[in-house]
Structure 1
């Protein structure tokens, strides 16, 4: 599978997951976290999802 197609699939999956979270979010929770902590968390979630998509659709 081409790299661009895998990137597109992982981006669509991430957008779908964030949409599901956003559509069911009714309570706002404030957590004292610095901006760089939130950035690291977002990058970590992206890497985990990207790794999962690569294992699922990648070469075996």
Structure 2
């Protein structure tokens, strides 16, 4: 597989996994997260979660930046 195709697959996979996890997480704990967490804390959690998923998907597809 070419490098560009792997990068595109990793990006699509990252988006799908992040969206699915975010949906499931917010579906169950929507009230708890938004009541007990300040806006900047929730934003920080989302950024860290996205970067973690992006890193793991890059490792799975063997993409090097």
Runs of 4+ displaced beyond 3 Å:
none
Where relative contact order (Cα < 8 A, 6+ residues apart) is larger, the structure is 1
2:39 corresponds to which of 27, 35, 48: 35
Structure in which a larger fraction of residues adopt helix: 2
Q: Secondary structure at the match of 2:31?
A: coil
Distance 1:37 1:26 in 2: 15
Normalized against structure 2, the TM-score is what? 0.65
The 3 A distance-change label for structure 1 pair 35 and 20 is: closer
Normalized against structure 1, the TM-score is what? 0.69
**CA-atom RMSD, angstroms?**
2.4
Question: What are structure 1's unaligned runs of at least 5 residues?
Answer: none
